[in-house]
């Protein structure tokens, strides 16, 4: 490296590969060239450059050398950088000197490569590509390693001159050959220093724009974005735009116009303009406007149109605000008076209408429209009013050009004019004019009403209305003929909808639904076929239109156009019909026409859009008409299913998805309609849903690959049935015929079913939620007429319940049928609701007896589950448990004695509690609670005595803890559930015994002989839960001081850590046990405070044990536990006279335990609790605490006490 440094390599003259050799020869001959003697020293290192230069001259192996040289330079850069760091530290030299050496080595290595490119001496195309790749790698190294930076010293501008020469050679070669590799090299050079191409920027931009037809166009977009952002940051955006205009004026290539209109160029230029200050925007604006005026006086129409396109990009990108509204407004008015008038050819005389055949006129109209667009925004921010005034000569849209604009629009409407650019410009102007008319028409109407002057002269409200209708018709028809923009209509709905005719509304809606019928994909082909209009659209146009229509669905204001929504559902269904029945009119009977599957997915998308509109708007016009048409489409789709004419899986999937969408839309329609909207509810839809669902499931019964689609169809049918009955219940008070008709239809259909398992299963799925809905409606507001209809329905449902009971039995015995297993949840809920209806009817003296067959099967299920619950030593699961609960709670088997059934159930609870390790199935617990609430005093006495006898018998058994815990579990339900004076009196007799049993049972749980695990924690929780219930039921037992002491002692046992007597592991005490223990102490303080005065030591010990449990958890502590502890402490200040001498020991215990190995967050969380304890003690106890504390404890307590004093109340009491 010292040798390379001492050589003082010169920067070569680019392209002369023999320069180094000549330099060395001159050095050997001792020439008198002072510059060479100073800049170049003879060294053996220069042989590397001469050798590589000579190798480049040989054609054979040149590509290998081209690939090797950049790697050689990269290694040189890495080594020289390491050398530079050491050398810099030793000699305190600047780091840019190493970069200077690296650049000179790079230039000498790159020089022979560029010489070959400059002289076109490459052998073939692959060699030329190799040269470009090698050059790109060199530039990558320069850029990534910061070898060249404009801020580095560059004597005599040698480095800059070299790069500018390199840029000229690359750009000239690029203009000759054209390849995307040139773009990357040009981009790297521009990133090195933008001044390389500053004077050649128009040539560079011209090449970039022409390169858009190259296969890989990403470098083009990156290059243009870099150019725009760089010159924007340099505040020289005007120079960039001037170069773009110059590049476009030097060529008539059509690709330039295409690229300027492309979204990539628009996005790059828009970003630069929006980030520019006002002064820079004004410079660019005036530059383009002057160019327009100059070009308008010439004959090059293409260049003029190109300039107009750039100017429109500027107008679209302008962001108007309060800070620049006046400046931009002045620019708009200046452009209007200069450029627009020149383009339109307006001087003193104005023709009847514009010459739309002239391209200059079209350009002028286009600029006029966007100038107005920007001017309106400026008026808003500058608090001006751009209103319509026919006599106003200085306004924008109210200027003298307005009559010509209207005449031109009338001429276009009455002719066959089809110039897309001219009509697009007219449409934009008509939209702005319509906005202005819409804003002032109401005001003009009020003025006329006050003055009493009416007429049709210009400026009157009547003439404005006629003009608005003309403009609205023109805007719609232009877009419908694909000569205008639908996006413009989406952005200005509020302007044209009030003046549009029905046919215009339908045109817009047809476009709206046709756009949504095609899936949106950014990777679609260049042309997109739209089935409804049966035409193709280019990809960019379709993408923009789809996004515009999609945005309407997310716009809340879109749903406020009632005139539009009056036709929405009807037109949407018409579009679906046109897609599925080509050549058939909407009024034609479609029952004889076969449904087409070609555009079925598009029709499904339209139905989903209609459903979204109905859901968001919560309204559907013409619901009966739409429902009937949807039923026709639904029946046609079902017909294709039944005839089995759909062979492909994709076709079947699409057909089922369409049927599901039809049903979901029908459900949403019936959900939002009112009685006066729909008239007579069509019951044929309900009947068709039942029948078609059965047919679909039978048709595709063996096809597992479309099971998800079949489930979707069934779910959609279930939803419709629910909404149908919900509507009947909603209007029941007004009209009872709907529910009665539905009940008759449902009963008839159930009775007439074929009895096949699949058919019955489908009926259960369709009716389960509807049965539950009717049950809840009857429970909330019992009505005899409604009950009689429901009685008719459930009477017909006996076969369904028989089927459900059979399936429940089969399912619980492990039947392999997947359909039975998948519907097990439906079966048990259906049976449960069915039995609930029977009980509700019997309670209201409308008994609906179950038939013999159902009663027999019910008895079989009941016996089966009882035998399982008695005989099994494991937990019993399955749907039969739900049936068991329903049988007992609804008293469905009159042959069973009620008391025997209660005792049986209680024995089952005891058995299950032991089998399931302290847990019982929720259904069994719920059933037990229900029968306890319904039992009379004698029955409660029998149950309680039986339970006590069980507890006494199991006291000497093999597992006394589990048996006693099971008994306490049942006692807990008795204490909380049993109501009534006689019933509670029966419990008073055993309440004391239950308390003693609970206290005695806590002893063996904490002895050495018990294995402590999760089961122990569950039993412990049962004890505490029972104690808590007894404490709260003062009508059952009044606790004494000794009882309370025993309870606190039992709580302490749960958290005792003494190894001599108890070995209970604290970690096995779960959070439920802790929370229950805290609740017991809280209940005692609230309900039995005076009794606690006699056992204060037990209370203090309990508080310390609970505190130890929390602190022992350390960082795993749950802060909710600390808050629960604080609830206890908050109750103590109310009894400070009794507790103050004892509470200070809890404080002392806390300070001692928190000295070490405690998370600071736990100490902070404990502060409210300790503050409550400090509120309990007096100054004397504080002094005593200071006496008892060790020095380190005093320091800890001091900070705690200071925080307490900050929160102490110091006001008047």
Contacts of 814 (CB under 8 A, 6+ apart): none
Reported as a pLDDT band with limits 50, 70 and 90, residue 1127 is very high
CA distances from 611 to 573, 574, 636, 679 (A): 11, 15, 20, 21
Distance of CA 94 to the CA centre of its chain: 55
Structure tokens at 22: 């000549």
Distance CA 311, CA 585 (A): 48
Does residue 495 carry a pLDDT above 90? no
Say which DSSP state 1007 is in. Answer: S
Say which DSSP state 770 is in. Answer: H
**High-pLDDT (> 70) share of the chain, %:** 80
- Count of CB atoms within 10 A of residue 889's CB? 22
Do 271 and 320 form a contact (C-beta atoms < 8 A)?
A: no
The predicted model gives 1162-1183 an average pLDDT of 87
More confident residue, 846 or 875: 846
Reported as a pLDDT band with limits 50, 70 and 90, residue 816 is very low
Distance CA 837, CA 1159 (A): 58
Span of 656-670, 979-993, 994-1008 with lowest mean pLDDT: 994-1008
Distance CA 1077, CA 1017 (A): 13
Q: Degrees (nearest 5) of the Cα angle 400, 406, 409?
A: 140
Tell me, what's the pLDDT at 604? 92
**Cβ burial 971-984 (10 Å sphere, 16+ → b, else e):** bbbbbbbbeeeebb
Tell me, what's the pLDDT at 696? 85
Structure tokens at 13: 């003259």
More confident residue, 31 or 375: 375
- Count of CB atoms within 10 A of residue 529's CB? 13
Span of 241-250, 339-348, 706-715 with lowest mean pLDDT: 339-348
The predicted model gives 537-541 an average pLDDT of 80
Tell me, what's the pLDDT at 1064? 41
Rank 363-372, 668-677, 846-855, 1203-1212 by mean pLDDT and report only the highest. Answer: 363-372
Distance CA 1143, CA 361 (A): 97
In degrees rounded to 5, what are phi and psi of residue 536?
Answer: -105, 145
Rank 82-86, 332-336, 878-882 by mean pLDDT and report only the highest. Answer: 332-336
Q: Residues 878, 881, 882, 884: is their CA dihedral positive or negative?
A: positive
More confident residue, 813 or 339: 339
The predicted model gives 723-730 an average pLDDT of 89
More confident residue, 835 or 125: 125
Does residue 609 carry a pLDDT above 90? yes
Does residue 608 carry a pLDDT above 80? yes
- Count of CB atoms within 10 A of residue 1145's CB? 18
Contacts of 1149 (CB under 8 A, 6+ apart): 1104, 1107
Does residue 762 carry a pLDDT above 80? yes
Does residue 1009 carry a pLDDT above 70? no
Q: Calculate the average pLDDT of the chain.
A: 80
Structure tokens at 950: 């069980």
The predicted model gives 113-133 an average pLDDT of 85
Tell me, what's the pLDDT at 311? 92
More confident residue, 1209 or 648: 648
The predicted model gives 169-190 an average pLDDT of 85
In this predicted model, what pLDDT tens digit does every residue of 194-218 receive, in sequence order?
Answer: 999 999 999 898 888 887 654 445 7
Say which DSSP state 1208 is in. Answer: S
Which has the closest alpha carbon to 742: 773, 715, 696? 773
Distance CA 443, CA 451 (A): 12
Do 129 and 37 form a contact (C-beta atoms < 8 A)?
A: no
Tell me, what's the pLDDT at 823? 53
Say which DSSP state 10 is in. Answer: P
Span of 177-186, 421-430, 556-565, 997-1006 with lowest mean pLDDT: 997-1006
- Count of CB atoms within 10 A of residue 690's CB? 21
Tell me, what's the pLDDT at 190? 92
Tell me, what's the pLDDT at 627? 87
Name the pTM for this structure.
0.73
- Residue identified by tokens 């000229």 is 168
Does residue 512 carry a pLDDT above 90? yes
Span of 209-218, 344-353, 671-680, 731-740 with lowest mean pLDDT: 209-218
Tell me, what's the pLDDT at 555? 87
Distance of CA 850 to the CA centre of its chain: 50
Does residue 347 carry a pLDDT above 90? no
Contacts of 374 (CB under 8 A, 6+ apart): 315, 318, 320, 328, 332
Tell me, what's the pLDDT at 348? 52
- Count of CB atoms within 10 A of residue 813's CB? 10
Tell me, what's the pLDDT at 240? 92
β-bridge mates for residue 529, sequence order: 536
Tell me, what's the pLDDT at 877? 60
Does residue 1060 carry a pLDDT above 50? no
Does residue 453 carry a pLDDT above 60? yes
Tell me, what's the pLDDT at 299? 80
Tell me, what's the pLDDT at 350? 57
In this predicted model, what pLDDT tens digit does every residue of 614-656 receive, in sequence order?
Answer: 998 888 888 888 888 888 888 888 888 777 656 677 888 888 8
In degrees rounded to 5, what are phi and psi of residue 530?
Answer: -105, 115
Strands 535-538 and 527-530: antiparallel
Tell me, what's the pLDDT at 661? 93
Contacts of 125 (CB under 8 A, 6+ apart): none
Does residue 1115 carry a pLDDT above 90? no
Tell me, what's the pLDDT at 1051? 85
Say which DSSP state 175 is in. Answer: H
More confident residue, 564 or 678: 564
The predicted model gives 791-797 an average pLDDT of 86
Does residue 384 carry a pLDDT above 90? no
The dihedral region occupied by 1188, where left means phi > 0, alpha psi between -120 and 50, and beta the remainder, is alpha
Structure tokens at 40: 């170049």
Reported as a pLDDT band with limits 50, 70 and 90, residue 593 is low
Distance CA 763, CA 756 (A): 11
Reported as a pLDDT band with limits 50, 70 and 90, residue 1082 is very high
Distance of CA 394 to the CA centre of its chain: 50
Distance CA 588, CA 847 (A): 51
Tell me, what's the pLDDT at 216? 43
> Taking the chain, what is the end-to-end CA distance rounded to the nearest angstrom?
88
Residue 949, burial from CB neighbour count under 10 angstroms (0-12, 13-18, 19+) = exposed
In this predicted model, what pLDDT tens digit does every residue of 473-494 receive, in sequence order?
Answer: 999 989 888 777 899 999 889 8
Rank 282-296, 955-969, 992-1006 by mean pLDDT and report only the highest. Answer: 282-296
Structure tokens at 221: 């977009």
Grouping H, G, I as helix, E, B as strand and the rest as coil, residue 457 is coil
**High-pLDDT (> 90) share of the chain, %:** 13
Residue 822, burial from CB neighbour count under 10 angstroms (0-12, 13-18, 19+) = middle
- Residue identified by tokens 């200050």 is 277
């Amino acid at each position: 490296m010292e040798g390379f440094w001492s050589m003082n390599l010169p920067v070569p003259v680019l392209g002369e590969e023999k320069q180094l050799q000549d330099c060395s020869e001159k050095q050997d001959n001792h020439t008198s060239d002072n510059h060479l003697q100073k800049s170049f020293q003879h060294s053996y290192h220069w042989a590397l450059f001469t050798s590589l230069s000579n190798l480049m001259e040989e054609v054979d192996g040149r590509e290998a050398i081209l690939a090797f040289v950049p790697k050689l330079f990269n290694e040189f850069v890495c080594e020289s950088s390491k050398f530079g760091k050491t050398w810099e530290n030793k000699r305190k030299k600047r780091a840019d000197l190493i970069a200077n050496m690296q650049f000179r080595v790079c230039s000498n290595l790159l020089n022979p490569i560029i010489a070959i490119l400059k002289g076109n001496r490459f052998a073939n195309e692959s060699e030329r590509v190799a040269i470009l790749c090698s050059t790109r790698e060199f530039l990558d190294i320069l850029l990534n390693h910061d070898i060249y930076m404009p801020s580095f010293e560059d004597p005599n501008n040698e480095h800059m001159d070299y790069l500018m020469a390199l840029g000229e050679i690359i750009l000239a070669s690029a203009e000759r050959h054209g390849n995307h590799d040139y773009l990357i090299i040009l981009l790297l050079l521009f990133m090195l220093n933008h001044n390389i191409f500053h004077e050649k920027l128009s040539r560079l931009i011209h090449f970039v724009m022409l390169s858009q037809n190259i296969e890989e166009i990403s470098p083009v977009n990156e290059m243009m974005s870099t150019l725009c952002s760089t010159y924007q940051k340099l505040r020289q955006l005007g120079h960039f735009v001037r170069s773009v205009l110059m590049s476009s004026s030097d060529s008539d290539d059509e690709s330039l116009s295409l690229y300027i209109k492309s979204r990539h160029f628009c996005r790059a230029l828009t970003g630069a303009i929006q980030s520019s200050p006002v002064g820079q925007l004004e410079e660019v604006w005036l530059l383009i406007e002057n160019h327009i005026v100059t070009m308008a006086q010439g004959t090059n129409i293409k260049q003029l149109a190109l300039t107009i396109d750039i100017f429109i990009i500027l107008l679209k990108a302008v962001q108007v605000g309060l800070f620049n509204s006046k400046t931009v407004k002045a620019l708009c008015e200046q452009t209007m008076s200069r450029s627009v008038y020149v383009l339109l050819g307006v001087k003193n005389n104005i023709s009847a209408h514009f010459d739309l055949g002239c391209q200059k006129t079209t350009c002028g109209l286009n600029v006029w429209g966007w100038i107005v667009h920007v001017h309106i925004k400026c008026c808003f921010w500058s608090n001006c009013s751009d209103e319509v005034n026919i006599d106003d000569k200085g306004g924008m849209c109210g200027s003298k050009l307005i009559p010509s604009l209207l005449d031109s629009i009338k001429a276009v409407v009455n002719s066959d004019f089809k110039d897309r650019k001219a009509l697009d410009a007219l449409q934009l102007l008509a939209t702005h004019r319509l906005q202005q008319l819409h804003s002032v028409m109401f005001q003009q109407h009020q003025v006329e009403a006050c003055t009493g002057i009416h007429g049709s002269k210009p400026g009157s409200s009547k003439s404005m209305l006629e003009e608005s209708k003309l403009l609205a018709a023109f805007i719609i028809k232009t877009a419908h003929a694909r000569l205008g923009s639908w996006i413009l209509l989406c952005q200005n709905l509020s302007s044209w909808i009030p003046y549009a005719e029905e046919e215009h509304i339908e045109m817009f809606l047809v476009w709206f639904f046709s756009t949504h019928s095609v899936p949106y994909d950014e990777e679609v082909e260049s042309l997109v076929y739209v089935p409804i209009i049966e035409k193709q659209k280019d990809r960019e146009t379709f993408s923009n239109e789809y996004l515009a229509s999609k945005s309407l669905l997310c716009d809340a204001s879109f749903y406020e156009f009632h005139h539009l929504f009056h036709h929405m559902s009807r037109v949407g269904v018409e579009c679906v019909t046109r897609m599925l029945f080509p050549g058939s009119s909407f009024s034609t009977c479609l029952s004889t026409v076969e449904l087409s599957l070609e555009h079925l997915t598009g029709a499904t998308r339209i139905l989903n859009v209609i459903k979204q509109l109905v859901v968001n708007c919560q309204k559907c016009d013409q619901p009966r008409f739409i429902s009937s048409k949807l039923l026709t489409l639904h029946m046609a789709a079902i017909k294709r299913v039944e005839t089995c004419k759909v062979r492909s899986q994709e076709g079947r999937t699409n057909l089922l998805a369409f049927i599901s969408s039809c049903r979901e839309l029908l459900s949403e329609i019936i959900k939002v309609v009112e009685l006066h909207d729909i008239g007579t509810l069509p019951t044929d839809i309900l009947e068709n849903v039942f029948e078609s669902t059965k047919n679909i499931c039978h048709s595709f019964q063996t096809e597992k690959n479309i099971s998800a689609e079949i489930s979707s169809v069934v779910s959609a049918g279930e939803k419709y049935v629910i909404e149908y009955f919900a509507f009947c219940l909603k209007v029941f008070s007004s009209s009872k015929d709907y529910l009665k008709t539905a009940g008759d239809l449902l009963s008839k259909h159930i009775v007439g079913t074929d009895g096949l398992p699949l058919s019955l299963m489908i009926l259960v799925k369709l009716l389960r939620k509807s049965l539950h809905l009717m049950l809840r409606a009857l429970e909330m507001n019992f009505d005899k007429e409604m009950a009689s209809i429901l009685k008719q329905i459930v009477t017909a449902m006996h076969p369904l319940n028989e089927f459900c009971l059979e399936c429940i039995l089969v399912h619980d015995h492990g039947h392999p049928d997947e359909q039975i297993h998948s519907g097990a949840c439906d079966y048990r809920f259906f049976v449960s609701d069915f039995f609930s209806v029977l009980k509700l009817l019997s309670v209201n003296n409308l008994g609906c007896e179950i038939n013999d067959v159902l009663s027999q099967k019910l008895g079989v299920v009941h016996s089966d589950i009882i035998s399982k619950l008695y005989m099994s030593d494991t937990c019993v699961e399955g749907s039969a448990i739900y049936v068991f609960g329903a049988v007992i709670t609804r008293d469905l088997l009159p042959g069973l004695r009620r008391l025997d059934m209660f005792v049986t159930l209680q024995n089952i609870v005891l058995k299950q509690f032991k089998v399931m390790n302290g847990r019982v199935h929720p259904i069994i617990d719920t059933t037990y609670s229900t029968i306890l609430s319904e039992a009379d005093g004698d029955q409660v006495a029998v149950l309680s005595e039986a339970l006590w006898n069980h507890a006494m018998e199991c006291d000497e058994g093999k597992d006394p803890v589990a048996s006693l815990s099971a008994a306490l579990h049942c006692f807990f339900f008795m204490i909380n559930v049993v109501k009534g004076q006689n019933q509670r009196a029966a419990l008073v007799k055993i309440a004391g015994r239950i308390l003693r049993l609970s206290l005695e049972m806590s002893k063996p749980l904490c002895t050495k002989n018990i294995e402590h695990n999760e089961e122990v924690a569950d039993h412990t929780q049962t004890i505490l839960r029972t104690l808590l219930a007894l404490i709260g039921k003062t009508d059952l037992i009044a606790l004494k001081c000794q009882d309370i002491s025993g309870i606190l002692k039992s709580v302490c046992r749960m958290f005792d850590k003494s190894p001599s007597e108890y070995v209970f592991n604290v970690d096995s005490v779960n959070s439920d046990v802790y929370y229950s223990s805290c609740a017991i102490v809280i209940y005692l303080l609230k309900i039995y405070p005076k009794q606690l005065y006699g056992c204060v030591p037990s209370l203090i010990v309990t508080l310390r044990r609970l505190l130890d449990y929390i602190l022992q958890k350390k960082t795993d502590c749950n802060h909710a536990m600390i808050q629960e502890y604080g609830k206890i402490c908050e109750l103590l200040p109310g009894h400070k006279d009794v507790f103050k001498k004892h509470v200070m020991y809890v404080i002392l215990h806390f300070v001692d335990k928190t000295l070490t190995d405690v998370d600071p967050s736990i100490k902070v969380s404990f502060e409210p609790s300790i503050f409550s304890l400090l509120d309990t003690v007096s100054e004397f106890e504080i002094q005593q605490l200071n006496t008892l504390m060790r020095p380190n404890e005093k320091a800890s307590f001091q900070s705690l006490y200071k925080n307490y004093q900050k929160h102490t109340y110091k006001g008047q009491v």
